[in-house]
Chains A and B, each alone.
Chain A
Amino acid sequence: MNIAQKLSDFWTEFTSSAEVIVALSVSVVVFAVLYFYMIRFLLDNKSGGLVVIFVLSMILGAGIISLSNMDSAIYLVIPAIYLVILIVLYSVELKRIIWAHMNMKLADVKHAGGRSYDEEKVEHCISEIIKALQNMSKSDTGAIIVLSTGNIPSQIIDSGVKLEADISSELIESVFFPKTPLHDGAMIITDTKIVAAGCFLPLSQNLDNIPKDLGTRHRAGIGITETIDVVSLIVSEETGIISIARAGRISRYADFATLKKTLNKYYWQELESARK
């Protein structure tokens, strides 16, 4: 049977009953959605070449199966192989998407609670964080502090050491003091508590927009803000420059006023809206 005859038979079958039309249309929609997300994911990860190979292999596979007497279900092996390749090659990126969009298991972080926010305590926290950042900047001590609203995945908290300690510049500086066990990881702050320190963060893969002179610490600080709505405060070990990362973007040379503004926004806007 030639291809024209097969297509003619398919069309006759397709138009034979409403049930067949609905079943095939649903199949097309399901496959289209699957392919849409697959192609978009590959393009987002700068893998346009894989998309071209995928489409060409689907067209070539269609030709081979139509011309031969092979079981047509074998055709599904092609998208299945691509799905496996995608999962294996992009497991880190997929994990980030899951963190960002699915109901991730969040770390159990206690909030200070309701509106009974003690303004004096918040001002104390803000001044202690700024003092620690400026001291570490002066002494070229590398540091990453992540300001979260309790939206940090538990895997990140578990990768470090839980502290649940009150915020103080002495504690922050001690944690990041070189050669101490926790100095190389990130410190997670939620509300008025230092939740954990020495935590591992996902590195940013957005290499095009990150200046070459920024190292792994900055990439980690930016990486976490790409997937989760948090703010990272980063002190460069080489230059002592304080940077603020938010939503995958970094602004460098943060001075006292910028830090104060960022921390005020965190305490009085972001935490407030997270509690609602």
Chain B
Amino acid sequence: MDNEKYNGNQFESGENKAKTVWRNIGIGALALFVAVLTVVVINI
């Protein structure tokens, strides 16, 4: 447990941390796509 990091509700190992980063990148890309769509639609 010493080399694990507490992330709010679970202890996170290095492998899980990499998975979380990629998950966040995926969510970010999706969020950015929908945000661009929103701004374009409300401005055309």
Interface residues of A (CB under 8 A from B): 6-7, 9-10, 13, 24, 27-36, 38-40, 43, 51, 54-55, 58-59, 61-62, 65-66, 72-73, 75-76, 79, 100, 206, 226-227, 247-249
B4-44 interface bits toward A, Cβ cutoff 8 Å, 1 = contact, 0 = none: 00101111000000000001100110111011111111111
Contacts of A79 in B (CB 8 A): 38
Residues of B within 8 A of A (CB): 6, 8-11, 23-24, 27-28, 30-32, 34-44
Q: List 13 A-B contacts (CB under 8 A).
A: A29-B35, A30-B35, A31-B31, A31-B34, A31-B35, A32-B31, A39-B27, A66-B44, A72-B42, A72-B44, A76-B42, A247-B10, A248-B9
- B11 near A36 (CB under 8 angstroms)? no
For the residues of B in contact with A, the DSSP-based class is: helix
Decide yes or no: A32 and B41 within 8 Å by CB, A206-B9, A247-B11 being known contacts.
Answer: no
Chain B positions within 8 Å of A38 at CB level: 31
Bound CA–CA A66/B39 (angstroms): 13
* Cα-based distance from A74 to B20 in the complex (angstroms): 35
Say how far B28's CB is from chain A's closest CB, in angstroms: 6
| Cα distance A32–B33 in the bound complex, in angstroms | 8
Q: Are B40 and A10 in contact (CB under 8 A)?
A: yes
Measured between beta carbons, the chain B residues less than 8 angstroms from A34 are 31, 35
Alpha-carbon distance between A138 and B24 when the two chains are bound, in angstroms: 47
Check B24–A40 contact: CB distance below 8 A. Answer: yes
Least Cβ distance of A81 to chain B in Å?
14
Cβ–Cβ contact B36 & A28, under 8 A: yes
Which residues on B sit within 8 Å (CB–CB) of A35? 30-31, 34-35
Given contacts A62-B37, A72-B44, A79-B38, contact A39 B10 (CB under 8 A): no
User: What is the CA–CA distance of A58 and B37 in the complex, to the nearest angstrom?
Assistant: 8
Partner of B38, one of A13, A39, A76: A76
* A233-B15 Cα distance, complex, nearest whole Å: 30
- Given that A24-B43, A28-B32, A79-B38 are known contacts, is A43 also in contact with B27, CB under 8 Å in the complex? yes
9 closest cross-chain pairs (CB), A and B:
A31-B35, A32-B35, A35-B31, A36-B31, A6-B44, A248-B9, A226-B9, A62-B41, A10-B44
A10 contact set on B, CB distance < 8 A: 40, 43-44
In Å, the complex CA distance between A43 and B26 comes to: 12
How far, in whole Å, are A51 and B42 apart by their CA atoms in the complex?
21
Contacts A13-B43, A66-B41 given: A28-B6 contact, CB under 8 Å? no
With A7-B44, A249-B11 as known contacts, state yes or no: A36 contacts B28, CB within 8 Å. yes
Contact B9 A247 (CB under 8 A): yes
Minimum distance in angstroms from A14 CB to a CB of chain B: 8
A39:B31 contact, CB within 8 angstroms:
yes
